[in-house]
Structures are given as structure tokens and as C-alpha cells.
Amino acid sequence: MKIDKNTINKIARLSRIKLDDKESEDYIKDLNSILDWVEQLNEVNTENIEPLSNISSSILPTREDVSKDANSSDEILENAPDKLEGFFAVPKVVE
Amino acid sequence: MNNLIKGEKHDWEMVIGLEIHAQVKSNSKLFSSSSTKFGSSPNSQVSLVDAAMPGMLPVINKYCVEQAVKTGVGLNAKINNYSVFDRKNYFYADLPQGYQISQYKYPIVGEGKVTIDFKDGTSKDIRIVRLHLEQDAGKSLHDQNPSKTYVDLNRSGVALMEIVSEPDIRTPDEAGMYISKIRSILMYLDTCDGNMQEGSLRADVNISVRKPGDGYGTRCEIKNLNSIKFIKQAISYEAKRQIEILESGGAIEQNTMLFNTSTGKTRPMRNKEEAHDYRYFPDPDLLPLEISEEEIVKIKSSIPELPDELKNRFIETYKLSNYDASVLTAEKKTSDYFNESINSDPELKNHAKLVVNWITSELFSLLNKNNFDLTNSPVSPENLGQLVKLISTNEISGKIAKDVLDDMFSTGKTAREIVDEKGLKQVTNEEEIEIVIMEVIKDNPKMVQEFLEGKDKLLGFFVGQAMKKTKGKANPKILNEILLKKLNK
């Protein structure tokens, strides 16, 4: 797999990162070398092997269904650049 | 039943599949301890996990997992011992993580089915593809300010069950019946409160049209419908739109649509050039979810009688029709009411059909008219049972019983009290009725003449007059018999 200009633009847009031409070139180079390195794994035969989503042998820890009264709005909104009556205020999102 | 839409050259068939989002009824969120209470002040139920502060880790709510398994059993579905949580990546202001934790390749529940019942007594199975657990997003308010969107994260992280159907649905009505059935099952299981107004249950609809027998057409998805009425409206409109395009020689563009509830029309969402690319991958913060057979067996044993089982029991025990039984079992509160009512007197089980009718037509219409709900009905199940008993033993006529029910509704008195107080007991004494009829005949000689000359319609007039004189208390059957006898003399 090769990363080209179109792919890098798509990834940048999906990540909401603005890249200038110089940065795009740099990322194309970086990402391609990472992919080349990872592609060594293709040499391994993985036929009939289920993907492994986690290498830990421990069991998913769970919690009981108890709610804690957070009354969180002041703390949660502390870093918000803009807020109004307990809401985050963000630039208009259409739809 | 004809499910097809008439077209210019040939008929069209709709192909519909639903993705239902049902909020798990739990105290706390799927991966945090914040409360799930509805209607609290904005951002008051948001933990650092829900706000996606750096370094926070999700810990799964055991109860939500059990609720999902329970629901899976209720949908006659396969429970998967092994499932995985994935990240579904997209940017939106009410999704602080930048991804939704969901399940993609390995959902907690696999294939199942539910049955819907038609009025004509037939039924149909709708296959379920899967049920998976996922997080809800926050809520955005777009219409408060021309340049800002306001975001409330209280809902962010609340557990949802997404229930995906096969495209087995063929009409707007079937879609409505399917979601009603799912809602009913969820409410019997008590795994979701089923409140569509508060958004606890909502659906995305996938729809395409085709010439019957052809393969599937290109589909469009209508997002986020929160009432059965809107689901049906949106489907009808969208099918018509697609057929118009196809008949004028156009092609359907696969699109995500929004339904405008005030115009009744669908329109494509903007930003469609950014086709969604969710880049699912297993969430490295969460280990796979493993459920043992013992746990599944334990959950299965906790499952109450479900609507279909209850329906079959009602049909068998009370000889009710499939349709009546399915109306009774559509909502738990209705079947509870019926149960209490019919068990209040041993005689009533021989008049089950009458009990059903008085609940589902007379009582329901009174409740609707007065904005009451069955759970706070002024007429208790026992009192309704007593009323039906008075009818079944001919103490009062059905017509009088309607007035009695009205009185019961507004005064809270029992049927017996009202009948005694107002002297409404039906007159079955033939002599008494005969006296009244003779009076009516004497008072209306002209009418009698016309009737005898063949104006049969006048019979209703005489019945009405006699009923009026007895204040509606005469037994209609006896009244009619005597009247005919006397008039033909």
C-alpha cells in the first residue's frame, strides 16, 4: 500500500488537520516508511487465524450499575473557550 | 394483502430494514458512573470519562451487558460468548472522544427473529441481524443562536442497544408493527423504558424500491426517527420520491436523508461529499467481552413471560383471537390490567371477549379522550370486571353500560353503586315492557298505519320511543320481540 497526495489529503480532512504542501510531502514520506516497515508482517502466513484484538490475558474488568451524583457542569465547562447557561458553545454545526 | 404501489408501467415493492437504537434502562452510563437521568440541567451528568479528558479509561457497566443479553434472548437470538468493542471514528461537536465505542465485527448478540401479527389473523417473521452495545453521543442544539451550536453532554456515554433487522419489511405498516413489537418486548423485559418522546427508542430506516422479483434497488437511509407515525410517513414519502425518480428515467443515489416532521418530506443531508469513513478498529482501552454459558443460563432464567408466550396463553385459556390477544399483550400495562380484571371474578373467564372489548375499545377511548393512561385509570381492573359481569348477566344492557362506565370514570364509584343509585337495572319483565309498547302504539296511530302499509323503517322509531320511555333500560331483545308481535296483530 502506498500513501499518495490524495490519501494524505483524505486522512488530514478526516482528522480535521490542515496541512500545507510542505507538510503533506513530509507526511507522505513518513507514513510510507512506517507502512513499509509494518508490511513486513505480510510475510507471515495468517490464513485461518482469527484477528487478535488484545494480547492481554486478563479479563475485562466490570463495575456495578451505581450512579454517582456528579453535578459536574462547572468542572466540565472550566476549559471551554465559550459557554452559555451550562452548555458548551461551539461554532455552528449545520445539521 | 397487497403490498405493492401502483406504478406507470409496473407495480413497485418497498424493501425496508430498520436500525433501532434502544437506550438501556440503567442507573449509570456504559463506561462511566454518571447518572442517566433524563431532563437534568445541561452538562450536570458528565464524568471526566464522558468528556474524554486525557488519560481517562472506560470501565464497563456489568448490568448493561446483562440487559443486552436479556434483550438478545427476548429476540430469540444467538448470544455470543465473545464480543469486541471497536472505535467508530468521526468528528462531531457532541462526540468529545472523536470516536464512538461500539461493536463492529463481533457483536454481543447475533441472529434472531420477531413475529408481527396482522389484523386478518396472519403473521410474519422479521429476521434480526444483530444487536450490539454502543455509546450514545451528546445533544446539539442548533436553533438557539444564528452562529453557535450548543452542546450538552449528559447523554454522552449512555448505553444503547442497536438492533439491526434484515430488509424483511415491505410496507410502512409493517415497519410500524415491527418497532411496536420490539418496543413491547423491551418493555416486558424491562431493558428499555420504550419512551420514544424522550428518545429512549429511535430508529434509522433503510429503504429501497424494486419491481417485484428483482434484486434489491439502491437504498437511502433516513436518520433518527423518534415516533412510529414519523417512521411510517417518512417511508411513504421516500418510496414515492424514489419511484418518481426511477419512472422518469433517473437513478437513485445512495444517500443519508433527514425527515422534516413539519413538511413530511425527506431531504439529503448536506456534507455528503465527505462520505463516512469510520475506520473501525478494536478499542485498545477495552479487553474483549467474554460471557460464560453459566451467566447466559442465569440471565435466561430471570426472563419473565414475553408477549408472544402470553399471547398464546391468552388464546388457549380464553379462546381469544390472535389479533385480540396481540392487542392485549402489546403493552405490559394492558395485559396486567386484563389479567387483574378477568381474575377478579371466576365467572368472567367465560366472557373474556367481552372483557377485552370493554378494555380496548370503551375504556381506551375514555382514557384517550381525557388524557389518562391505563396505569392511572380512574376505573380499576376489578371495577371494570364487575361492569362486564353486570352486562353478561343481563342486569344492564350494553348501551346503559356505556353511561355507567362514563360515571365510573368521572366519579370513581363502582358499577354496582351506580346501577343501584340510578335504578339502571335492565327491565326484562315482559309485562312491564308490553305496557310501554302499548302506550307507544296508542300515541302514534299515524306511524302505525304507515308501518302496516309497508314502511318497515319505522320499526326503529318505535324501538326508540319505547326505549325513551324506559330510560334505555328495556332489554332490547325482548322489546323487539314484543313490538313485532304487537304491530303485526
Least confident of A9-23, B340-354, B398-412, B418-432: B418-432
% pLDDT > 70, chain B: 98
Instruction: Establish if A59 belongs to a structural domain.
Output: no
Confidence of residue B233 (pLDDT cuts 50, 70, 90): very high
Q: What is the spatial distance between Cα B186 and Cα B200, in angstroms, rounded to a whole number? A: 11
| H helical segments located in chain A | 5-14, 21-38, 73-77
Domain range for residue A24? Answer: 5-43
What is the predicted pLDDT for the residue at B274? 53
d(CA A20, CA A64): 49
State how far residue B220 is from chain A, nearest Cα, in angstroms.
18
Residue B104 domain flag? yes
Instruction: Indicate if the pLDDT at residue B195 is higher than 90.
Output: yes
What lies within 8 Å, CB to CB, of B383 at 6+ separation is B408, B414, B415
B438 is in which domain, residue-wise?
430-488
Rounded CA-CA distance B127/B112 in Å is 6
Residue A95 has what pLDDT? 53
Helices (DSSP H) in B140-281: which residue ranges?
172-189, 228-247
* Count of C-beta atoms within a 10 Å radius of residue B293: 9
Q: Which of A23-32, B105-114, B139-148 has the lowest mean pLDDT?
A: B139-148
Cell numbers given for B420:
343501584
Last residue of some domain: B388, B422, B456?
Answer: B422
Closest by Cβ to B47, choosing from A66, A72, A90 = A72
Same domain (yes/no): B182, B272: yes
Chain A within 8 Å of B46 (Cβ-Cβ)?
yes
Q: Name the band, by pLDDT with cuts 50, 70 and 90, for residue B273.
A: very low
Looking at beta carbons, which residues of chain B come within 8 Å of A65? 26-28, 61-64
Number of domains composing chain A = 1
CATH, residue A26: 1.10.20
Residue B397 confidence (pLDDT): 82
On average, the pLDDT of chain B sits at 92
Is residue B391 a part of any domain in this protein? yes
Q: In this model, does residue B429 exceed pLDDT 80?
A: no
Contact yes or no for B57/B47 (Cβ under 8 A): no
CA distance A14 to chain B (A): 7
Q: With respect to residue B1, please indicate whether it lies within any of the assigned structural domains.
A: no
pLDDT of residue B143: 86
d(CA B138, CA B161): 16
Is residue B306 predicted with pLDDT exceeding 90?
A: yes
- Contact between B59 and A62 under an 8 Å Cβ cutoff? The reply is yes
Same domain, B225 and B148: yes
Q: 10 Å Cβ neighbour count for B338?
A: 27
Residue B369 backbone phi and psi in degrees, to 5: -60, -35
User: Do B385 and B275 sit in the same domain of this protein?
Assistant: no
CA distance A25 to chain B (A): 23
Residues of A in contact with B42 (CB under 8 A): 73, 85-87
pLDDT in tens, B150-164: 999 999 999 999 999
Residue B335's pLDDT band, with cuts at 50, 70 and 90, is: very high
Q: Do B195 and B123 share a domain, yes or no?
A: yes
First to last CA, chain A: 35
pLDDT in tens, chain A (95 residues): 789 999 999 889 888 899 999 999 999 999 999 999 999 999 999 999 887 777 777 889 999 999 987 778 899 999 999 999 999 999 987 65
Left, alpha or beta for B347 (phi > 0: left; psi -120 to 50: alpha)? alpha
Chain A residues with CB under 8 Å of a chain B CB are: 10, 13-14, 16, 53-54, 56, 58-73, 76-77, 82, 84-95
Distance from CA of A90 to the nearest CA of B (A): 5
Same domain, B24 and B136: yes
Judge whether A48 lies within some domain: no
**In the predicted model, is pLDDT for residue B32 greater than 70?**
yes
| B274–A13 CB contact, under 8 Å | yes
Q: Give a yes or no: residue A11 inside a domain.
A: yes
Asked if B270 and A88 come within 8 Å (Cβ–Cβ), the reply is: no
Q: What percent of chain B has pLDDT over 90?
A: 72
The CATH number for B436's domain is 1.10.10.410
Q: Which of B141, B135, B147, B164 is nearest to B64 (CA)?
A: B135
- The answer to whether residue A51 is domain-embedded is no
